[in-house]
Amino acid sequence: MTEKKTRISIVFPVFNEKDNIEELYNQVREVCHQANLDYEMIFVDDGSSDGSLDVVKKVRAADPNVRYLSFSRNFGHQVALFAGLGKAEGDAIITMDADLQHPPSLIPEMVKRWREGVDVVYTTKQDANIDPIKGFIVRASYWFISKISGLSLEFGQSDFRLIDKKILKLILDMPECHKFLRGQVRWLGFRQEGIPYNVEKRHAGKPKFSYRSLYHLALDGIFSFGRYPLHLIMLFSLIIFFFSSLYLMIVIGIWILKILRIVRIPMPPGWTDLIMAVCFLGSVQLMAVGVLGEYVGRIYEQTKKRPIFIVKEDSAKENI
Ligand code: UDP
Ligand code: MG
């Protein structure tokens, strides 16, 4: 059909994956050859300490289509992906993990869908091979983030996706310092379609995402897409206000009836009610302050205008 070979960029975030890189490279290259695709592979070393960068350099020495960036320290998976996207020059860009959990064999299908006119081909992982506790947390976070951000993220959407280069440009132009790529991509619209896939077992090494980093990622999803949490708190406090006013009116009514000696209802003992009200309202207030604090903190981070990552080495300027 088309005479010119399509060039695909594939971006891998790498944090201590030295035993996966060569196998990953071989599998991806093989798949690209089979599918008659021109490729560039961009490895973003996110401050690895296990010598991953040396393995990447070794692979690059044999194949100039391999490029890399290396950070001065660990800046996180989302930032590594974003930095890699900034280097991509292909017609379509695929992001995938470096541990072979995202099967390279899916690449031809993703490219096929893109050629059919889909701007974002995302993937949704099936439950298999996910640690059950992590699976539950991730499932709950997806549900919550989707509700709160209004983005309708499907469960299992990871950062294994193909985007057209016009989407890439739009993503790179988004100035926010807290990156939550699956939300940002979703937010853009255009034609987006998903492919289900089975998560493979990690080829080697251990997972790098701690529960803490998952929590931070979930917060980015919740707080980066509008003021819905603020609206929710407002609604919640209005409901509490309504019921406490009602309760207050009933108590005052009983007092008046008692004073007028119309009824002889004993007043509630008070202690339990009081403590419950104090605790409940106290926790709501703390939550409200926390939510406001989160927004203020994000404004603070954004106004600092610090770079979101520092590059130590770049294959384009070998050994800076
Ligand atoms: N990763 C990264 N920086 C980090 C944590 C992870 O670049 O701070 C990379 C990691 O090397 C892998 C991908 O992100 O290529 C996904 O990490 P992991 O496999 O630990 O996540 P999981 O599959 O458990 O979600
Ligand atoms: Mg993994």
Distance 100 CA to ligand 2 centre (A): 7
Strand partners for 121: 162, 193
The pLDDT tens digits of the residues spanning 292-310 come to 878 887 887 888 888 999 9
State which residues form the domain around 165: 6-210+307-314
Alpha helix ranges (H) inside the chain: 21-34, 52-62, 77-87, 107-115, 132-149, 165-172, 181-188, 211-223, 228-259, 271-304
pLDDT tier at 150, thresholds 50, 70, 90: confident
pLDDT (0 to 100) of residue 154:
74
Nearest ligand to the CA atom of 13: 1
pLDDT (0 to 100) of residue 281:
80
Assigned domain for 220 exists: no
Describe the chain by its helix, strand, coil percentages, rounded to 5: 50, 15, 35
Q: Is residue 101 a contact partner of residue 200, using CB atoms and an 8 Å limit? A: yes
Nearest ligand to the CA atom of 83: 1
Q: Which of 70, 77, 206 to mutate to test the pocket of ligand 1 (most atoms within 8 A of CB)?
A: 77
What is the pTM for the complete model shown? 0.80
Distance 11 CA to ligand 1 centre (A): 13
The pLDDT tens digits of the residues spanning 272-281 come to 577 667 767 8
The pLDDT tens digits of the residues spanning 116-142 come to 999 999 998 886 556 777 778 777 877
Is the model's pLDDT at 1 over the cut of 70?
A: no
Is the model's pLDDT at 314 over the cut of 80?
A: yes
Assigned domain for 238 exists: yes
Q: Which residues line ligand 1 (CB under 6 A)?
A: 13-15, 17, 46, 74, 76-77, 80, 97-99, 101, 207-209
Same domain, 280 and 206: no
Instruction: Report d(CA 89, CA 147) in Å as an integer.
Output: 35
The enclosing domain of 174 has a CATH number of 3.90.550.10
Assigned domain for 131 exists: yes
Nearest ligand to the CA atom of 98: 1
Assigned domain for 206 exists: yes
pLDDT (0 to 100) of residue 99:
93
